[in-house]
Amino acid sequence: MPQLGRAALVVSLALVAYALIAGAAAAVTRRRRLAVSARNALIAAFGSTVVASTVLVVALIRHDFAFTYVASHTSRALPTRYAVSAFWGGQEGSLLLWLLVLTGLGAVAVWLNRRSRDLVVWVVPVIAGVATFFAWMLVVVASPFATQRAPFDGAGLNPSLQNPYMVAHPPLLYLGYVGLTIPFAFAMGALLSGQTDERWIVATRRWTLIAWTALGIGQLLGAHWAYQEVGWGGYYAWDPVENAALMPWLAATAYLHSVMIQEKRGMLKIWNVILVSLAFCLSLFGTFLTRSGIVSSIHSFTQSSIGGWFLGFIVVVVVLTIGLIFYRLPLLKTKTRLESLVSREATFLYNNLLLVALCLTILWGVTWPIITEAVSGEARVVGRPYYDFFLRSFGLPLLLLMGIGPLIAWRKASLRGLGKTFAWPAGIAVLTGVVLIVLGAGSSTPGLIAYTFSAFVLGTIGLEFVRGTRARHSLSSEDWPRAFSSLIARNRRRYGGYIVHAAIVLLAIGIAGSSAYQHVTDKKLARGESLNVGPYTLTYRALERSSNANATEVRAVLDIRRGTQLVGTVRSGKNSYTEPAGTVSNEVGIHTNYLTGEDIFVIAETVYGNGTVSFRVLVKPLVNLIWLAGLIFLLGSLITLWPDAREQRRLATRYAELGSGASPAR
């Protein structure tokens, strides 16, 4: 079995290396048969990588400890679902997942766009070049198929990874990271071929949306995992590896907004190439942070020798990309100029500048400890206040722009027209702010501003849906529900985007509520004693002990009362794992009060031998809006991604106008 896995990886390396060399030669010499051969080699590499991946998965399920990787990340007591998730729970396996997703997405992308030969002929060697690096790492530097004399049992999987969210969270992040390779490859292909029009954008719009959606949902699943599993009372800690996933998502968000201006007005060509390149390079940087061990994080792997390889590869990609952009600058310049600072184009540009500014300030915060350690020998860590300050500084204006952008006109808008357009949303925002102050929510200025801006954005989104539905109802005589559904169906990209904006607003409200208005209490309790936190009283009633195949569980049982009414019971404690031996994890208790929309979050920080427990209890208002925002975000993204016959005809016409008879990728 290990020999089969190693052989499959060697075949993958040979195939992607051939696709790189032959594809580059075919692009330069315009030899069609050689180009087809390179494309087929890239597609075949996916097949051989599937074989290698299957070997590793089978070994993990069978607990074949002759594989060093299997022995290091599983044990006999580990449930099968977590044995499978150990595929991406370690360094070598996660690299194999990178290669698997990359060759799979690359194969599908070049096949769907195969008729656009003059562009795809350059795309194949770009994708193959990235795949060659990862295949080389797996064959030469960090093989998942190293063997040893099989021990009786393995070391087990990190307990924090033994969670259902860890079955889905890492693969989604990888789909996002690797998915950004596709638009990057098409952008580089456009530059290399000299075809800098919108064809590469049309061909990759849905690929970018898929990667962006996967990154967004992956981060929210990771946040929910941290909230439930890590046991510190929050969902995002500005951890370097958390930030590493956020940065490419922010850059991709800016890119998705920016391409609309290029499609509509033919502007921002340079900006779009830079943004898609930045998103891809940041995805590589995130992989580097996780795998090099250069930063301390619950998400990162231990110190290893592969960090230098990754850093070298990132430097090569950045240098070549910058050089190619400068080389093609004359082709990227456009004659269309911004006509007014008060227009939809200008709003999108402000939006992008803020997104990139937030992204770069996070990047600086992540790299500052690395820079200071390299210069002075002592790492100086940037704290949470730094990130919170810039999140408020850039995030609140971004929130406001989400409401302004959809209603402002292209090219130029009049101030009188703007006043009339924004009268209702502005009125809703002001009324919301006044009501919140009256209710006593004015103690946190950032929270109050966030709520007011959120009301404004929701007002503009609602106004757009009302106007569109009313117009459909009047023109087609459809009843109101049918007019509403057909409005979305006829312009999925626009109204799906509005739904995504609504999800971001709910996310902002949830973050503001759960951080600015939470209550926290710490207290040591014996059985029968109580503590007060916010409007609740918690009484420690009992201490329960139990065992399962892999852990001993201790749970403190607390009754929760609001006034005199019993609203629920919560259990919080510790798990002591047999494998890895001596590992202890926090197991928090969470009770959701659906009537008030808040969580009572209980951490049993220390359990003493006499049954006394030190508790930390938090009341987190509106935190569940964050998870609801994830569902709405997914819904909006799916609507935007769903095939639209009218849009496909329009894009096909546009594609033909740009000089190709090929249909864009679906």
Residue of 508, 397, 392, 516 whose CA lies nearest to 458: 508
Question: If pLDDT is split at 50, 70 and 90, which confidence band does 268 have?
Answer: confident
The DSSP secondary-structure symbol of 147 reads B
CA atoms of 495 and 482, how far apart (whole Å) = 15
Residue of 72, 77, 76 whose CA lies nearest to 89: 72
Beta strands in 236-380 (DSSP E): none
- What integer is the mean pLDDT of 99-109? 94
- Give percent of the chain with pLDDT exceeding 70: 92
Better pLDDT: 31 or 166: 31
* Cis status of the peptide bond prior to 183, with omega within 30 of 0: no
pLDDT in tens, 493-552: 889 999 999 999 999 999 998 888 889 999 999 999 999 998 999 999 999 988 876 778
Angle at 91 between CA 85 and CA 97, to 5 degrees: 55
The pLDDT, as a whole number, for residue 300 is 47
Number of residues that this document lists for the chain:
666
CA atoms of 96 and 108, how far apart (whole Å) = 18
The pLDDT, as a whole number, for residue 210 is 94
Tokens representing 624 are 């569940």
Better pLDDT: 211 or 581: 211
Question: If pLDDT is split at 50, 70 and 90, which confidence band does 241 have?
Answer: confident
Q: Are strands 598-607 and 536-547 parallel, antiparallel or unpaired?
A: unpaired
Point out the least confidently predicted range of 112-121, 236-245, 639-648: 639-648
Neighbours of 207 (CB within 10 A): 22
Torsion of CA 269, 19, 89, 318, to 10 degrees: -40
The pLDDT, as a whole number, for residue 662 is 44
The pLDDT, as a whole number, for residue 661 is 43
Q: Which residue has the tokens 């302004």?
A: 404
Residue of 579, 549, 583, 581 whose CA lies nearest to 156: 579
Q: Which amino acid is at 537?
A: T
Residue of 459, 620, 469, 455 whose CA lies nearest to 534: 620
DSSP string, 222-264: HHHHIIIII-SS-S----HHHHHHHHHHHHHHHHHHHHHHHHH
Q: What is the mean pLDDT of the chain?
A: 86
The pLDDT, as a whole number, for residue 192 is 92
Beta strands in 181-340 (DSSP E): none
Q: pTM for the complete prediction?
A: 0.90
- What integer is the mean pLDDT of 416-438? 84
| Number of Cα atoms under 13 Å in the Cβ half of residue 128 | 31
Question: If pLDDT is split at 50, 70 and 90, which confidence band does 232 have?
Answer: confident
Residue 281 confidence (pLDDT) above 90: yes
Tell me the range of 125-129, 447-451, 464-468 where mean pLDDT is highest: 125-129
The pLDDT, as a whole number, for residue 664 is 42
